[in-house]
């Protein structure tokens, strides 16, 4: 029996230390998926808490047919989609702040303000481009390209046929390329100027 299955069994029987261990093992997975889907640090934290509350309340229903991480992805994705439908995020909250980037930046970015500024510009352009995707396209794009899941795993999470997922991912990639085309051209023009 794997350690994760053992923790799940103990947590089902009311062992809070085992449940806390499950949360600690998976909190980054949940937070980063929520952040990628919502685009806001504070809402991602709220959603993460809501996800783990749902997990705690539903743990007895988890049958183990799918991997625990797949089950968590499904709960996180559904919670994010519900939150996006219920709540219209204000423009101020949608707009990424420098604090979010500083929290996520590595030490090398923090010690190099120019690299941090460049990273912020890139992230803002990517976030803007992602706003053009439908909810399903965005979900597939993030699960496949950010989280590295296979189409079979995404099919389990979203209950969508693999062929449909491939089509959604293809459309998302095309839209992203089209949206980022001007930014890439501008960026390559700057690089040519800097080399002169």
pLDDT at position 163, please? 95
The pLDDT tens digits of the residues spanning 135-180 come to 999 999 999 988 889 999 999 999 999 999 999 999 999 998 988 8
Buried b (16+ CB within 10 A) or exposed e, 97-112: eeebbeeebeeebeee
pLDDT exceeds cutoff 70 at 93: no
The pLDDT tens digits of the residues spanning 44-67 come to 999 999 999 999 999 988 888 888
- Angstrom CA distances, 160 to 16, 129, 138, 139, 155, stand at 34, 24, 14, 12, 5
**Looking at the whole model, is its pTM more than 0.75?**
no
């Amino acid at each position: 029996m794997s350690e994760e299955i053992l923790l799940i069994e103990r947590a089902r029987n009311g062992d809070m230390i085992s449940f806390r261990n499950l949360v600690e093992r998976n909190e980054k997975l949940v937070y980063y998926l929520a952040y990628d889907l919502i685009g806001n640090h504070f809402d991602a934290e709220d959603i993460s808490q809501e996800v783990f509350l749902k997990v705690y309340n539903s743990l007895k229903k988890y049958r183990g047919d799918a991997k625990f991480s797949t089950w968590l992805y499904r709960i996180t994705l559904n919670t994010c989609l519900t939150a996006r439908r219920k709540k219209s995020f204000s423009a101020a909250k949608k707009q990424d702040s420098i604090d979010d980037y500083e929290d996520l930046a590595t030490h090398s970015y923090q010690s190099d303000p120019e690299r941090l500024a460049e990273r912020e510009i890139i992230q803002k352009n990517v976030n803007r481009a992602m706003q053009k995707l439908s909810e399903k396209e965005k979900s597939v794009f993030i699960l496949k390209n950010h989280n590295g899941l296979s189409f079979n795993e995404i099919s389990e999470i979203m209950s969508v046929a693999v062929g449909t997922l491939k089509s959604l991912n293809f459309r998302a990639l095309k839209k992203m390329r089209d949206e980022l085309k001007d930014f890439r051209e501008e960026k390559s023009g700057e690089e040519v100027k800097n080399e002169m």
